[in-house]
Structure 1
Amino acid sequence: MLSTLKTEVLPPKSCGLKTEPGSMSQRSCVYFGARYVLGPIKEAVHLVHGAVGCSYYGKMVRGTPAPVWTTNMDEENVIFGGREKLKKALFQALQIDSSAKGAFVYLTCVSGLIGEDVTSVAQEVSEKVGKPVKVVSCPGFSGFSQSKGHELSYKLIFELIKPVEQAKEPVVNLIGEYNVGGETKVIKELLEKLGIKVHVSLTGEATWSKIETMAKASLNLMFCGATAENFCREMKRTFGIPFMKVSFYGFKSTSASLRKIAAFFDIPEEKVEKVIAEGEKWALSKIFPWRKYFYGKKALIVLGTYRLGPQGKMLKELGLEVVAAASIFGRLDDHVEAYSVTSRVTDDPGDCEVEEALKLLRPDIVLTNARDQWRPVKFGIPVLSFPQPKERGPYAGYKGMVNFAHDLYRCLRAPVWQLLRAEL
């Protein structure tokens, strides 16, 4: 058991389990997981076949507005069906957005419960307009977390890929990279310094057309394994494109990833080391004045699976101690990575468990999502929330490490915490 002062703190729970009954979970639903992956894809109509509240919930994707249509199902549609309403909405949306290459139709709880045959409607519309219509069967109750929505979204994306001739120059796809705060641009810039082009960032900076030609790349770079590993394996099986796991969070991970990618493309070692040396030297010069404020500080992480280990490693590189880490949803590999930064790792913590951890571990800062940030604030504990807005900038690469360190410094040194510090 993990304990402090003989009281259990964030009791260790295996990843991949359903939320315990009665727990106030911070997990999102399957539909939101689908929007998380598919929402940023351009050249597509995104139509929610469900209550208007679902479209509102899926409007913001990682802190950025994403276009979405809705059929606004009401009581009459629940009783008599909403097929005709859906058909009309699809025709209208594709007519208004005539540049769209296709459409995604999201089935939420309402349309999922009444069990309508939406597939036949999608086929009929597709045949008449000459554009593919993909049904995203993602009622919130169809899985215990948003990860199910990620999984089915990647399966649909794979169906869009067409066989094309592979590029002769070094070209890669970024798989499971969601462009939070503009991170795709930073990664692209680093790879371009090595002479490597990024074809598509899935799905942070993706278009329907680019997805169709993903097979032109000679390597897939996998960022978030929890959502993208099966996709990468299927691309290797079908198109023969190899993949490698990379991370651009922190100095060590960024430099190691650049060396791995360069070795794959036989890029001269001196070229790679020059890019790494320049990036690290510049970033360290920016971070150096803040380092003294980080040493001895304690951090608690409560984040989604993708950020858990990488963000913990960034904190350690800056001199902070990670006292515990909890994933909202995760898998074994993510927990193993998190164990490299702290011995306290758990999954899907409830509100009471987080509160006890705050009282007993007494972190100096908490890294968590937008939904979970207010409990630490009420205790007077600084919070760095995710996903970060664009004005805070990306956290990837050497530029991202500077932005991350600056935000930590800003949060820890804000005078307001001296006024709000509560008795724990």
Structure 2
Amino acid sequence: MEVESQVLDERKEFVCYNSKNESSRLRCDENSVSGAVSQRACVYCGARVVLNPITDAFHLIHGPIGCASYTWDLRGSLTSGSEIFRNSYSTDLSETDVIFGGEKKLTAAIDEIVEKFNPKVIFVYATCIVGIIGDDIDAVCKKAEEKYSLRVIPVKSPGFSGNKASGYRAACNAILKLIGNKKSKNKINGINYLGDFNLAGEIWVVQSYLKRIGIEVVAKITGDGKYDELIKAPEAKLNIVQCAGSMEYLGKKMEEIYDIPYIRVSFLGIADTENSLLQIASILGDEDTIKKAEKFIEAEKAKIQKTIEYHRKRLIGKKAAIYVGGGYKAISLIKQFNELGIETVMVGTQTGKPRDYEIIKNITKEGTVILDDANPYELEKFMLEKGADILVGGVKERPLAYKLGVAFCDHNHERKHILSGFEGAVNFAEEIDLTVNSPVWKYV
């Protein structure tokens, strides 16, 4: 169905009303339309999002000091070990370095980090300026590795060279370089957990579920990840991918290099948590493991049933708008809203793929607005048009929702509370109920 003329002509193919009878595909997975004030971030941002939660890694930004301000310190990724990942290190390139080159400055910065901290691994990020002036960070990193016998990994992430998804791939390639190309003959009956960044400690929740049904986590990539864990990743028998937008590429590459199959999972919402646990148990476990999983799921669902039903009664008939990073998260959120009796009337993502949008199309109603890489104007227009009662998004969308007098739920990296697993399903229902049914909306 055609989108109204207020949307930029260049954006019309990225926005549609769901029609079950139309076979046309939404355009996606492309660079942002110039001038559209896209919500999507740059290549460097995407790389940093993926790599930063590795707790004992040093992150050296080769570029102006402003790029180094993009850190995880204000975000919800937690650690069970080192806190060093919360710091950024920068070569602080100036006008003189742009003219004469910054390789000497980068070498000096690596020397200083090694001298002061004795690191296991340093990631060196190329920013926009480095992409323009042509510093050879590969050569600098290689020399540093030879000199100090430690891992110094270049991350090719000049911001102008693509979009956030390009940064995800750059980070995944850096992880592969860190792990190496050797296959493991001694396999552990466990999984690598890809694409969870341990927001509020969510990876520990899922890890505890898996432990209770007898499944080991070999490497966490990258939430609460550690160098010694990462290099053992080829020993796992299965990769599970939570954030497909950032890590499905890594799953595919690890299948190709290490013969480790992967599956896409989600621990957002009761249904997806149950399905993911059963899927993992059936692939890695025997009949006893599957029975343990079924018994565990049954017990956990029984604990939360009354609470979920209470909130559901207060939320039935409400309308939700979703704008998040990845397509798989959006799909899980639509299912969660369905569990609470809430209809999703608008859904968009920053990095969704064609397969994600096909699933979204199938699980939402006719007329639901579907957007890729939206701008604030589009979000505002369709939220008002569809009468959304709540917007689920990230910190950038919060002011927009409140300006429109619409409730808001932060589902991004900045949050400090668990939204995964059975515990997270309760937290999500409580938060949605509190914000949607807040008395404040009577006065707006």
Q: TM-score range by the shorter chain?
A: over 0.9
Aligned to 2:58, which of 45, 55, 70? 45
Residue by residue over 1:299-339, the C-alpha shift from the partner in whole angstroms, topping out at 9 and shown as x without a partner, is: 00011114211111111111100001011221112212322
Match runs of 1:178-217 below 5 Å: 178-217=197-236
User: 1:63-113: per-residue Cα shift (whole Å, max 9, x none)?
Assistant: 457321011111111112211111111111122221x21211001111221
Name 1:152's counterpart in structure 2. Answer: 170
Q: How does 1:10-409 map to 2 (within 5 A)?
A: 11-12=15-16, 13-60=26-73, 62-64=75-77, 66-98=86-118, 100-143=119-162, 145-162=163-180, 163=182, 165=184, 170-264=189-283, 265-268=285-288, 269-305=290-326, 306-342=328-364, 343-387=368-412, 389=414, 391=416, 393-409=417-433
Which residue type is aligned with residue 92 of structure 2?
N
Percent of aligned positions with the same letter in both sequences?
Answer: 31
Once the two structures are superposed, residues 118-173 of structure 1 have per-residue CA deviations (whole angstroms, 9 ceiling, x without a partner) of 22221222211111211111011010x21100011111111222547566653111
State the SS of the aligned residue for 2:200: helix
Q: Secondary structure at the match of 2:36?
A: coil
Bigger drift between 202-211 and 335-344 goes to 335-344
Letter in 1 for 2:373: D
SS at match of 1:177: coil
- Per-residue deviation at 1:178? 1.8
CA distance in 2, matches of 1:58, 1:390: 15
Deviation track 1:35-63 (CA, whole Å, cap 9, x = no partner) reads 00011112221100111110002344754
Task: Confirm or deny: 8 A CA contact 2:74 2:414 kept in the other structure.
Answer: no
Partner Cα distance (1:71, 1:270) in 2 = 54
Which blocks of at least 5 consecutive residues in structure 1 are unaligned?
Answer: none
> Tell me, what secondary structure is at the counterpart of 2:296?
helix
| In structure 2, distance between residues paired with 1:355 and 1:111 | 37
Q: TM-score, normalised by structure 1?
A: 0.92
Distance 2:441 2:413 in 1: 20
CA distance in 1, matches of 2:72, 2:193: 24
Cα distance change, pair 175–104 in 1 and its aligned pair in 2 (3 A)? same
Distance 1:63 1:370 in 2: 12
Q: CA deviation at 1:415?
A: 2.7
Alpha-carbon distance between aligned partners in 1 of 2:278 and 2:155, rounded to the nearest angstrom: 38
Q: CA deviation at 1:410?
A: 1.7
Distance 1:413 1:60, change over 3 A: same
Contact 1:187–1:397 (Cα < 8 Å) also in 2: yes
Separation of aligned partners in 2, 1:239 and 1:57: 33
Q: Give the distance between the partners of 1:15 and 1:388, measured in 2 at CA.
A: 23
Instruction: Check whether the contact 2:46–2:168 (CA below 8 A) recurs between aligned residues.
Output: yes
Cα distance, 1:377 vs. partner?
A: 0.8
Output the aligned Cα RMSD: 2.1
Contact in 2 for aligned 1:134/1:156 (Cα 8 Å):
yes
Cα drift, residue 25 of structure 1: 0.6
Contact kept? 1:14, 1:346, Cα under 8 Å: no
Unaligned runs of 5+ in 2: 17-25, 78-84
Aligned partner of residue 36 in structure 1, secondary structure: helix
Task: Give structure 1 regions of 4+ aligned residues with deviation exceeding 3 angstroms.
Answer: 6-10, 58-65, 162-169, 388-391
The change in CA–CA distance for 1:153 and 1:233 in structure 2 (over 3 A counts) is: same
Shift of 1:3: 6.0
Change (3 A) 1:312 1:87: same
Residues 144 and 152, structure 2, Cα contact 8 Å, conserved in 1: yes
2:441 aligned partner, one-letter code: W
Taking structure 2 as the reference length, the TM-score comes to 0.88
Cα drift, residue 389 of structure 1: 4.7
| Distance in structure 1 (CA, Å) of the matches to 2:370 and 2:423 | 29
